[in-house]
Amino acid sequence: MTWPQFHVKMVGNWIRQALLLGMLVLLGCGESGMSQQDPMEEFVLSTQSQTKARAEAVLSLQGSEDVSHLLQPIDLPDLESNQSEEAEYAPNPAVEWVIEIEFTELEQISVAQLKEIFDGTFDQGEGRPTIFGKDAQTNQWTYAIAADGPESVTAVQLAWDYFQAWKGPESICNELGFQKRLDATSAVLQEHSIAANITPSRLPKEAFARTEELAVLPEDYDKYFIIQLQAPEGTVFEGRDIWDVMHCLGLIWGDMDCFHWDNPSGIGDDYFFSVESTTPPGFFLPEQIAAGELQTEDLIFLFSIPRSAAPLEVISRMDKAAHYAQKRLGGTIHYQVGEDRMSLENATNEVRQMADILTENGFQPGSDSALQLF
């Protein structure tokens, strides 16, 4: 995975989680129970060690028993890991429109000059591209403008996402927009007297067609597999019991103040699955739990289907986790794909079909292309 793709994965996934939390909160309460609290109001960025220290200050991070064996290791497909330190960082033509710039007179150009040339070239409507450069020292493509980026490059690629599901329809660029990007690139190079061959990965008409093609995929395939553990009618799950159950399973409390089964492989999404709630605020604050002030009407186990590198295997493990929670807390288990509730068998079959179709279209779940589009 390239650095820009990794950046999109981290930031995009954080935004997706925030939006999903908000959606779950709205689904979990009626008009009279609508919380006036902004789910994002108290969120701050913190390091993993800071998060751990915050929780450890008020609650134990050790479960009352160890049932982490229920979450057996998952054999992931042979997809490229973003943790490779020697990977060449280049655009992904499956999901990005690329303008390649090959200098015909210059042997190389400094990144400082490159930044000066393209700074302000593209207006808000055209969108700012990710700038890649072929490092003059290593002869490898890399993220050109970065703190540890190259000093000079021998060639340049400008890359724009065709479409990103988490940005929505406003990220769509029409044929005229693609042509404007091409014209602006040519004009700014001429303005700086830089001779170069400019080659788009697709002509503007073809690029717009690709955008339309990708924009319809999220409607059918940008879905979550969900297991809802609903508390018995008239009762709630106590925060301390939830905290203990999650730690007995070996889940980690952290991002978005929720629980996660960490995926350290670098292949696919950051977590195999997460646990949230539709009860406002939708997440779990350790300070509230320690004070006995947090109860929920349900627990939501979930993961993004297109972003999971092994969705069927994750379903199996997640179901075991949900049944353990049911054994400890009580309640009823429901299965859901997107907004549709169904049996586990039907849900699993639907996820299998979705994964097959995504793979056939070049977006194998958990792949770089899938992570970048979804």
Stated pTM of the model: 0.79
Residue 33: per-residue pLDDT: 35
Number of H helices, E strands in the chain: 11, 15
Confidence of residue 147 (pLDDT cuts 50, 70, 90): confident
The sign one gets for the Cα dihedral 358, 22, 34, 276 is positive
- What lies within 8 Å, CB to CB, of 124 at 6+ separation is none
Tens of pLDDT, residues 104-135: 999 999 999 999 999 888 876 668 899 999 99
Residue 9: per-residue pLDDT: 41
Residue 53: per-residue pLDDT: 87
Residue 49: per-residue pLDDT: 80
Residue 19: per-residue pLDDT: 54
* Closest alpha carbon to 7 in 118, 158, 130: 130
pLDDT averaged over every residue in the chain = 87
Tens of pLDDT, residues 278-296: 999 999 999 999 999 999 9
| Angle (deg, nearest 10), helices 204-215 and 175-191 | 130
Residue 52: per-residue pLDDT: 85
What is the phi/psi pair of residue 291, to 5°? -85, 0
Residue 327: per-residue pLDDT: 98
Confidence of residue 24 (pLDDT cuts 50, 70, 90): low
Give mean pLDDT, residues 354-365: 95
Name the least confident of 41-55, 186-200, 352-366: 41-55
Higher per-residue confidence, 221 vs 122: 221
The percent of residues above 70 in pLDDT, for the chain, comes to 84
Confidence of residue 3 (pLDDT cuts 50, 70, 90): very low
CB 184 within 8 A of CB 119: no
Give mean pLDDT, residues 148-170: 87
Confidence of residue 1 (pLDDT cuts 50, 70, 90): very low
Residue 10: per-residue pLDDT: 41
Residue 16: per-residue pLDDT: 56
| Angle (deg, nearest 10), helices 111-118 and 175-191 | 130
Give ∠ CA 77-369-225 in degrees, rounded to 5.
Answer: 65
CA separation for the pair 340, 331 (Å, rounded): 20
Residue 83: per-residue pLDDT: 43
* Closest alpha carbon to 273 in 296, 237, 307, 243: 307
**pLDDT(363) > 50:** yes
**pLDDT(45) > 80:** no
Tokens matching residue 236: 């709630």
Higher per-residue confidence, 339 vs 169: 339
Give mean pLDDT, residues 179-188: 95
**pLDDT(34) > 60:** no
Give mean pLDDT, residues 343-361: 97
Confidence of residue 35 (pLDDT cuts 50, 70, 90): very low
At 204, the amino acid letter reads P
Give mean pLDDT, residues 243-247: 98
Confidence of residue 29 (pLDDT cuts 50, 70, 90): very low
Give ∠ CA 83-315-217 in degrees, rounded to 5.
Answer: 70
